[in-house]
A and B are shown apart, each in its own frame.
Chain A
Amino acid sequence: MSGDDPTATAAPVAIVGAGPAGLAAAALLADHGVRPLLIDEAPRPGGQILRQPPRETTVERWLPGPLYRAPKAALRAVEDRADIAWLGGATVLGIDPPDPLAGRDGFELWVDTGARGHRLIAAERVLLATGAYELPVAFPGWTLPGVMGAGALQTVLKSQQILPGNRLVFAGSHPLQLVVADQALDAGAEVALVAFSQSRPAVLAAAARSLRHLGRHWPKVWTPARILARLAARGVAVRFNTVVAEAHGSHSVTAATLAGLDRAGGRAPDMTADRRARVACDTLALCYGFLAGTELARATGAAWTWDLDAGGWLVAHDGAFRSSVPGLYAAGEATGVDGADAALAKGRLAARAILADRGWATSDSTDAARRRDARALARALAFARDLRRFARPPHRALDRITGADTLVCRCEAITRAGVEAGRQPPLALADMNAVKRATRVGMGACQGRLCGAILARLARPGTGGGQPPRPFTARMPVKPASIAAVAALAEHADAADDDRGDQTDDG
Chain B
Amino acid sequence: MSYDVAIIGGGLAGTAAAYYLTGHGLTPAVLEAGELNAEASGANAGSLHFQLEHRLIAHGDALAQQVAAIIPLAKRAMALWRGLETELRAPLDVVMDGGLMLAETPEDMARLEAKQAVEARWGLDTQMLDQAQVRARLPGVADTVLGAAHCADEGHANPRLTTLAYARRAAERGARFFPHARVTATERRAGAWSLTLADGRRIRARVLVNAAGAWARDVGQLANVHIPIVPVALQMTVTEPVAPRLGHLIQHAGKALSMKQVEAGNILVGGGWPARLGDPGRRPRAFPRTIARNLATACGVWPELGRLALLRTWTGTVGVSTDQLPLIGRLSALPDYYVVGAGSGFTLGPAFAATLADQIATGRSDPQATVYSPDRFAHLNMFMGL
Contacts and interface: CB of A to CB of B under 8 A. Distances in A.
B288 A120 contact: yes
Interface string B256-294: 000000001000000000000010001101111101110
Interface stretch (B100-108, B216-224, B302-310): B302-310
B59 interface: no
A445 B38 contact: no
B240 interface: yes
B264 A486 contact: no
Q: Is the interface of B mostly helix, strand, loop or mixed?
A: mixed
Q: Is the interface of A mostly helix, strand, loop or mixed?
A: mixed
B312 A475 contact: yes
Interface residues of B, number: 46
Interface string B160-190: 1100100110110000010110000000000
Given A120-B288, A487-B295, A437 B38 contact: yes
B310 A437 contact: no
A108 interface: yes
B314 A473 contact: yes
A434 interface: yes
B312 A447 contact: yes
A95 to B, nearest CB: 9
A486 B38 contact: no
B38 A434 contact: yes
A475 B298 CA distance: 21
Nearest to B30: A426
Contacts of A110: 288
B360 to A, nearest CB: 21
- Chain B CB within 10 Å, residue with most, of A434, A443, A490, A497: A490
A164 B180 CA distance: 49
A486 to B, nearest CB: 5
Given A110-B288, A120-B288, A440-B160, A483 B171 contact: no
Nearest to A491: B296
Contacts, number: 126
Contact of A490 (B34, B37, B164, B289): B289
Interface residues of A, number: 43
A477 interface: yes
Contact of B160 (A425, A431, A437): A437
B97 to A, nearest CB: 22
Interface in A430-459: 430-431, 433-434, 437-438, 440, 443-445, 447
Contacts of A447: 311-312
Given A301-B285, A493-B293, A482 B309 contact: yes
A330 B29 CA distance: 45
A82 interface: no
Interface of A: 93-94, 96, 108, 110, 118, 120, 301, 422, 425-431, 433-434, 437-438, 440, 443-445, 447, 473, 475-477, 480-484, 486-493, 497
Given A434-B34, A473-B283, 9 more contacts: A120-B289, A301-B278, A437-B38, A437-B160, A480-B240, A481-B310, A483-B299, A493-B293, A497-B289
Interface of B: 34-38, 42-43, 160-161, 164, 167-168, 170-171, 177, 179-180, 239-240, 264, 278, 282-283, 285-289, 291-293, 295-296, 298-299, 305-315
8 contacts: A94-B288, A427-B167, A437-B160, A443-B312, A483-B305, A487-B292, A487-B306, A493-B289
